[in-house]
Structure 1
Amino acid sequence: MTIQEIKTADLSPEAFIEDQCRRISEQVGGATAVNALSGGVDSSVTTMLAHRALGSRLLTYFIDNGLMREGEPASVVSAMRDLGVPVELVDARKEFFSALKGKTDPEEKRQAITDTFYKTVFGRLVKESGAPYLLQGTIYTDVEETVAGIKRQHNILAQLGIDTRAAYGYTVIEPLIQLRKTGVRMIGKALGMPGKMYHRPPFPGPALAARVIGEATPDRIALVRSATVVVEEELAGIDAFQYMAILHQDRVTGVRDGKRAYGFQIEIRCWDSLDAVTASPTQLPFALLRKMADRITSEVSGVVSVTYNVTSKPPSTIEAV
């Protein structure tokens, strides 16, 4: 891997912002660039950097892929507009669920999302706009895990030998690729972003499809979305790196109204980590775990079992898929 990491101890946020804005401006020149906003920390910081560098020559899109958390598309678009960044919301739910239909293998699901995102959706937007550049929030850990063969991150392209101009019709710009998550948060703070934006728990590029083991159908996404609401409400005050709900593939035996019921199993994960390279399960109070289990089994239709992951990374990974 030829990318040189900038460690947090060596990072000067102001100098980094100035350098990246200059680089973005020089590369785009007088052209227009399209920006991929997902609402996560990385894409939001990239959006603010690119907006500072390009102003009105930046076209920012939020792609509603049907895989986001409850109310997220509208809230992210509104938050960015409050910061002076115009964002267009694009409904691409049909394209993404069509691409995911019948797929259960994690890598096939990631590839389907990658192809739909870059070729089907952004390929169309770039063609319509005539923009020769796409900005996205790839960070160093994304590249590291993909190159090491741990997990293919959907936003890794050039590092796998993919010529994006030949494959998709545009060049990808990745201003955060030398940073890990902690460094990205430092840049977000220096850019004057609200803490609730740059301190958000990490959220995967494939969104809730990364938290459904097996096929990511609209119904299964809706189920894990509802469980995610409970987990994020209950753990909002916890000082953890990341937390999530995961829907398992097989149904398990449960009991409702004195009768056997085959239902769904939700796994909760909560992590302590600095860089996502290694992580340890957060030692949550047992009463809190029981509260989440009670809420999920009563509020999320069909769930009869809730578990908590206690395995460190490695050998586990932060996301399940």
Structure 2
Amino acid sequence: MTREIPAQTLDTKQFITDKVAEIQEAVGNETAINALSGGVDSSAVTMLGHRALGDRLRTVFVENGLMREGEAEQVVNFFRALGVTVEVVDAREEFFAALKGVTDPEEKREAITQTFYRNVFGRLVRESRAKCLLQGTILTDIDETVAGIKRQHNVFEQLGIDPQEAFGYRIIEPLIQLRKDGVRKVGKALGLQSELFDRIPFPGPALAARVIGEVTPQRIATVRGATTVVERLLKGTGAFQYMAILHEDRVTGMRDGKRDFGFQIEVRCWDSVDARTATPTRLSFEVLQALAEQIHRDVPGVVSVTYNISSKPPSTLEAI
């Protein structure tokens, strides 16, 4: 059983020293590879790996077509300023092909997991001859997967899956004893800019976790546009996380005086510490109204915007 290090008792200096040594011992004189999404977990792992291995760590941003607007360019620029080179790999066609016709939430997560670890990353690992993958799994990912709440894409050994046997490489998880608040402390101590260690959480399956039903380039474009509005307007709320979700069914609306069957966007905004429990942020009606107006204005086809007022539990932070 993984021993938790609570954020309140976390000695970031000692933690970083220990994890750098563990990475160096695990990798030895070989090379390692890691996937950077720009979230706080993968950003902290990237900096730990960079400290431990220097140029022997290959850092890759996988462009899966499911990310937020301008994400790849923003992440590359952030880490260039920190002295870390990030390689962008275009895998959009592979991910959308794997998701074609898939509507079940767990099947979607599994399609993304297999495409990422077996196909895309498996190929990158073979090309680089890396023996190890550094990954930003945290304790909450394991808890939710083992409890059956939802299968997190980055959990394997706890489900009896041997990554070496399944994918051909070892997985090193330096953050597995921490929850999100602890990772933020480590990220700050590693010198990450506040834009990185204070970023709101973003799911491993990216915007595919915010599309109910089939994931297509067109549906991702819709939820991406709504996400841009939500993140711009709610950035100053101090909330733990906020998001836009595209529902599957079309709903009746009106456009130019006529009936219009359009899309429904659900907005979620959460107050939480470590994502284990959460309550909806009490946004003012003026903010909610601005969200609706700007989503209607900026995102074609949306005729309905709703706000989620359920707590976690029974709800969860992400939709799928």
Q: TM-score over 0.5 for the alignment? A: yes
The residue number in structure 1 matching 2:78 is 79
Q: For the residues of structure 2 that align with 1:96 and 1:36, how far apart are their CA atoms?
A: 16
Q: For the residues of structure 2 that align with 1:149 and 1:105, how far apart are their CA atoms?
A: 15
Q: For the residues of structure 2 that align with 1:72 and 1:252, how far apart are their CA atoms?
A: 30
**Structure 2 residue 245 is the aligned partner of structure 1 residue 246:** yes
- 1:181-212 CA distances to partner (integer Å, 9 max, x unpaired)? 00000001111111111000000000000000
Alpha-carbon offset, residue 256 of structure 1: 1.0
Q: For the residues of structure 1 that align with 2:285 and 2:190, how far apart are their CA atoms?
A: 39
Q: For the residues of structure 2 that align with 1:172 and 1:141, how far apart are their CA atoms?
A: 18
**Structure 2 residue 145 is the aligned partner of structure 1 residue 151:** no
The residue number in structure 1 matching 2:93 is 94
Alpha-carbon offset, residue 258 of structure 1: 1.2
Q: For the residues of structure 2 that align with 1:281 and 1:154, how far apart are their CA atoms?
A: 25
**Structure 2 residue 309 is the aligned partner of structure 1 residue 320:** no
Q: For the residues of structure 1 that align with 2:39 and 2:32, how far apart are their CA atoms?
A: 20
Structure 2's unaligned 5+ residue stretches are none
Q: For the residues of structure 1 that align with 2:300 and 2:86, how far apart are their CA atoms?
A: 34
- 1:263-309 CA distances to partner (integer Å, 9 max, x unpaired)? 00000000000110000000001001001101111210000000000
Q: For the residues of structure 1 that align with 2:193 and 2:26, how far apart are their CA atoms?
A: 28
Alpha-carbon offset, residue 53 of structure 1: 0.5
**Structure 2 residue 141 is the aligned partner of structure 1 residue 142:** yes
Q: For the residues of structure 2 that align with 1:126 and 1:182, how far apart are their CA atoms?
A: 31
Counterpart AA for 1:27: A
Counterpart AA for 1:186: K
Counterpart AA for 2:57: L
Counterpart AA for 2:80: R
Written as runs of structure 1 = structure 2, the 5 A alignment for 1:1-321 is 2-321=1-320
Counterpart AA for 2:23: I
Counterpart AA for 2:10: L
Per the normalisation by structure 1, the TM-score is: 0.99
Counterpart AA for 2:216: T
> What secondary structure sits across from 2:237 in the alignment?
coil
Counterpart AA for 1:267: E
Q: For the residues of structure 2 that align with 1:30 and 1:169, how far apart are their CA atoms?
A: 18
- Which range moved further: 3-12 or 105-114? 3-12
Structure 1's unaligned 5+ residue stretches are none
Alpha-carbon offset, residue 85 of structure 1: 0.7
Q: For the residues of structure 1 that align with 2:57 and 2:261, how far apart are their CA atoms?
A: 50
> What secondary structure sits across from 2:283 in the alignment?
coil
Counterpart AA for 2:72: P
Q: For the residues of structure 1 that align with 2:85 and 2:300, how far apart are their CA atoms?
A: 37
